[in-house]
Amino acid sequence: MRVLFASSEVFPLVKTGGLADVSGALPAALAESGIDVRVLMPGYPEAMERTEAKRHVGSFGDPLAVGGEAKLVSGKLPGSGVPVWLLDCPALYDRPGGPYQATAGHDHPDNHLRFGLLSWAAAQLAVDGSPVKWRPQLLHGNDWQTGLAPAYLHAWSPAERPATVFTIHNIAYQGQFPPDAVPRLGLPAAMYQMDGLEYYDHLSFLKAGLFYSDRLTTVSPRYAREIQSAPHGCGIEGLLTERAADLVGIVNGADYSVWDPAADSHLVRPYRAADVAEGKAANKAALQAELGLAKDPDAPLMVVVSRLNDLKGMDMVLAVLPVLLREGAQLAVVGTGDRVMEDAFRSAAATHPDRISASIAYSETLAHRLMAGGDMLLMPSRFEPCGLTQFYAFRYGTVPVAHATGGLADTVVDASYDSLMTGTATGFSFEHANAGAFQWALERALGVYRNREQWRRIQATCLAQNFSWERSAARYVELYRSLVAPAPGKARRRA
Ligand code: ADP
Ligand code: GLC
């Protein structure tokens, strides 16, 4: 089966968060399952630079009149070798800044065009008139940046169109633009209505994806339920409830070729489950030295690898700092995000340099070192569609302390009396997103940490978890097959 997988970020070409991890690893797992998958993404300069075996394969012209041609460049993803198509349009993508923002806090002013074109190209590649011969039978879009693709297919009404699947990685980001973006993007005015593109007097890319796609998925079963009501539905709960029969939650996987403590070049001392105690001790000592924390092998080291904002519950981490200090714990943070939050962590670290470290940066190396050297990973997210760092923590024998929401609720087993007895506990979780409940979970975690025997048991259960992509990819393949008959050839006829 031929599948076009469209995404705005793909690891290791460009990454701001979990979407990139998924967009790098899921297509590789799909390819392993025999799917003929190609990834489509914008040709940001660093993505162009890192793509292997690049060649120009066609041109789209300038369909949205952005002032420059959009070319299609094919290549391979480093590592997996999965075929990737870069939408090479320098007028939109060749500029400083990240995929979404020019500078921290300021979106690119033409994001409707940047991601309108991405969506347009995804749709165009799937129908007659595509600049290349390869035609997907199924188009899989991800998040708002690709939400207009099924809307274009609807607007064009081609004789044959691919089946469409749309995955919500985070419903809080919706891609909303003023109504004049509708004609600007070449979409018919008639589609700008409640049963269509309109969302509270704005064009919503996300709603377009949710309204016009054949099937919807999100990244955990719990989140699939949560977004069907307020507040998690972020205003789209009505549409999602109507489409509940078409919505499925499939938990993400972890890319164990990237996150493997036994073969991790970022670590001073790689380790396996068999020598986890020695391995973690060596990495913890190295981390304490690197970050200027007190060299204390017995101090529980809590780590945060996260965007720093309220949605991730980082205000709750700040609120429990006095408790952590009182309990003799250390905290190491690597993250970027809201300015106020960044400053608050910086200032806490400046006040307690031997106990708190705040690396306000994006650093793959530190992310890996924190997973290896840390004892507990803090994830008090107010909501978390899936979350990936808890999977990495499991693999590195680091125990998550997490709010029981979304994917965290589905994947972290709280250390209750029962789960401790049966050896199924993999972390500490709390039901209500407030600092008091978080503190209670932390105090429980610290209590168990001091009981080395019990801690080692939890760690062993974490290390035994298997969240490989294979299983999740099988669920996607099953979904694809329910939409596209296995017989080779024909794309779906227009519904
Ligand atoms: P989200 O996508 O909502 O940010 P996820 O847990 O799904 O949350 O994915 C976050 C990804 O981004 C993980 O791979 C994590 O290691 C990475 N990450 C987040 N912040 C940083 C940072 N400051 N430096 C390096 N990696 C980071
Ligand atoms: C989003 C979510 C996160 C999820 C990731 C990948 O960024 O916030 O929970 O793991 O997408 O699906």
Dihedral sign computed on CA atoms, order 444, 450, 455, 459: positive
Query: Domain segments of the chain: what residues?
Result: 2-253+470-483, 273-466
Tell me, in angstroms, the distance from the centre of ligand 2 to residue 384's CA: 7
Lowest mean pLDDT among 91-105, 143-157, 310-324, 399-413: 91-105
What letters, b where the CB count within 10 A reaches 16 and e where it falls short, cover 401-438?
bbbbbbbbbbbbbbbeeebbeeeebbbbbbeebbbebb
Per-residue pLDDT tens digits for 180-219: 999 999 999 999 999 999 999 999 999 999 999 999 999 9
Tell me, in angstroms, the distance from the centre of ligand 1 to residue 227's CA: 22
> Which residue, among 94, 15, 151, 458, has the nearest Cα to 276 in the 3D structure?
458
Which among 223, 252, 383, 410 is the best mutation to test ligand 2's pocket, defined by most ligand atoms within 8 Å of the CB?
A: 252
Share of the chain above pLDDT 90, in %: 97
Ligand 2 interacting residues, C-beta cut-off 6 A:
17-19, 22, 169-170, 219, 252, 384-388, 407
- Atom 2 in ligand 1: which residue has the minimum CA distance? 18
| SS3 call for 377 | strand
- Indicate if 273-466 has the same CATH topology as 2-253+470-483: yes
| SS3 call for 379 | strand
What is the CATH class of 273-466? alpha beta
Q: Which pLDDT belongs to residue 495? A: 40
Residue 26 corresponds to which tokens in the numbers above?
A: 């899921």
Q: Which pLDDT belongs to residue 494? A: 47
Cβ contact 77:39 at 8 Å: yes
Across all residues in the chain, what is the average pLDDT? 96
- Atom 5 in ligand 2: which residue has the minimum CA distance? 18
Residue 278 corresponds to which tokens in the numbers above?
A: 């020695």
- Please provide the CATH number assigned to the domain covering 2-253+470-483: 3.40.50.2000
- Within 10 angstroms of residue 238's Cβ, the number of other Cβ atoms is 13
Cα(289)–Cα(61) distance, rounded to whole angstroms? 55
Which among 252, 264, 307 is the best mutation to test ligand 1's pocket, defined by most ligand atoms within 8 Å of the CB?
A: 307
Cα(72)–Cα(162) distance, rounded to whole angstroms? 20
Cβ contact 439:474 at 8 Å: no
**Residue 435 reports pLDDT greater than 80:** yes
Tell me, in angstroms, the distance from the centre of ligand 2 to residue 360's CA: 21
**Residue 493 reports pLDDT greater than 60:** no
Cβ contact 219:444 at 8 Å: no
Per-residue pLDDT tens digits for 250-293: 999 999 999 999 999 999 999 999 999 999 999 999 999 999 99
Q: Please state, in angstroms and as integers, the Cα–Cα distance from residue 435 to each residue in 146, 254, 438, 444, following that order.
A: 36, 29, 5, 14
Cα(242)–Cα(232) distance, rounded to whole angstroms? 16
Q: How confident is the model at residue 492 (pLDDT cuts 50, 70, 90)?
A: low
